[in-house]
Structure formats: structure tokens, C-alpha cells
Structure 1
Amino acid sequence: MIKHHFSAGVYVREMALTREGEVLTHEHKYDHFGILGSGSVLMDLDGELSVHNGPCVIEIKAGKRHGIKALTDIVWFCVHATDVADPETIDEVLIKE
């Protein structure tokens, strides 16, 4: 389940994943925050694996390849500074090809 939240200059992608669910590795053009609201994840950040337990906030720098795997059911939020407010085009603005 993905929900999109937009406010003045801020975009938040909210994701609920069940155990074993994944967000594949990718890179962003800008620094952003990953917020684990609840549950536990295995995070791959530029090839370094770490376990995080919610609630916690993780700063992810621009250009760092990252992804998560849910070790339990989780709620994860990605927080980006952007004026784009269209769920159909937001990834074109944020994700580095």
C-alpha cells in the first residue's frame, strides 16, 4: 500500500509492507529522510547492510543506492523536499537514472 502526501515544498511517500516485502535499491538526486514508523527492516545502503527498528529516522544522502526489506510488517515513510505534487511524475523528479 502506497499513499502520497504533499504539502508546501514537501513530499512524503507512505508505504505499508508486510514481512518479506521489499523496496528495490535505487538512488535519489537529493538528500532525504527515510522514517521507519513501526517494525524492523534490513537496509542496504551502498552495499552496507544494517537492521533498523522503528520508530527511527535515517538520513539518506543523494546518490547513495539504498533499499529495504521488511523483517516484520512495517510502515515506512520517505520524506523529500520538492514542489512537485503529482504522484504520476514524482519519481521522474526524485529518482536518479
Structure 2
Amino acid sequence: MNDLAELPSAPTLEQIHKLEEFLRTQPKDDCATGHYFADGVYGRALLIPAGTCLTGKMHRQRHLNFLMQGTIRVWTEQGMKDLEAPQIIVSEPGTKRVGFAYTDVIWVTVHATDKTDPDEIEADVIIPEHCGVLPGEAA
């Protein structure tokens, strides 16, 4: 898949999960991650290499995303958009993003927390998905 043209402007969760199944069969791109902490705030920076197609995890709380560098096609609450840095996006709870990096991208998510262990923070802020089924949904 060389871009997200096959997805509608507002893909369903089922369509995103099918894309994830396809991506699991493809060679993996290394997306370097950086972790940053300040009083009551955690920032997670992701370096996404050009040509990478990826999906994000769903978050429990509203939070900020900063597109610091690059150009990426991404699903937003307003549909599929081509974004060029710098951009700030507010993610609503339960949003699952899909993206395709046209250039090398730096994407930062910011969450309110006093914790400093990335695994503990992820357990708090991420909605678990099991085999494409959300908690409370029938398998």
C-alpha cells in the first residue's frame, strides 16, 4: 500500500482493523520513540520514516498531538487530510488514527499524568483492543 487512497475519508474501526491485519504482514519500519516528562505532563515523540503506513492506538482522554516535522496523510475527526508541519491536533477519546508519511515525520502526543513510566502511562491512557474487538463489544 503506497498511500491511504483505498480508505474512505472517514474509515470505520472495522476498516482500520483490516488495514492493521494487512500491515502486520508487511516489513516493519523502525519508528524511533522518545519520552519526555515535565510537571504533570508526558510527551511521546515518534519519528516516522517517509513511506511508512501506520495506525495509532485509541486513547481514553482528550489529548494533544503535535506534528513537528514533515508531511503526512492522516485520518482526523474531519476526515482524511494531508498535514504539513507545524500542526496541532486535539484528539477526542476513542479516536483511532491512520497515517501515511510522505516525508520523515516527527509526531508528538502529550498527556496529563504524574507518572514517569511509559508502560504505566500507556496502561492508563490507552483503550485496549483485543484482536480488533473493543472492551464491551461482542467478539
TM normalised by structure 1 equals 0.88
Which residue matches 2:88?
57
Using the TM superposition, give the Cα deviation of residue 64 of structure 1 relative to its aligned residue in structure 2, in angstroms.
Answer: 1.7
- Structure richer in helix, relative to its length: 2
- Report sequence identity in percent: 27
Q: 1:69 aligns with which of 88, 100, 108?
A: 100
Larger radius of gyration: 2
Using the TM superposition, give the Cα deviation of residue 49 of structure 1 relative to its aligned residue in structure 2, in angstroms.
Answer: 1.2
Q: Structure with the greater relative contact order (CA < 8 A, sep ≥ 6): 1 or 2? A: 1
Judge conservation of contact 2:71–2:103 (CA < 8 Å) in 1: yes
TM normalised by structure 2 equals 0.63
Q: Give unpaired runs (5+ residues) of structure 2.
A: 1-31, 129-139
- Backbone CA RMSD of aligned residues: 1.7
1:84–1:23 CA distance, 2 compared to 1 (3 A): farther
Which residue matches 1:44?
75
Between Structure 1 and Structure 2, how many residues are aligned? 97
Which residue matches 1:87?
118
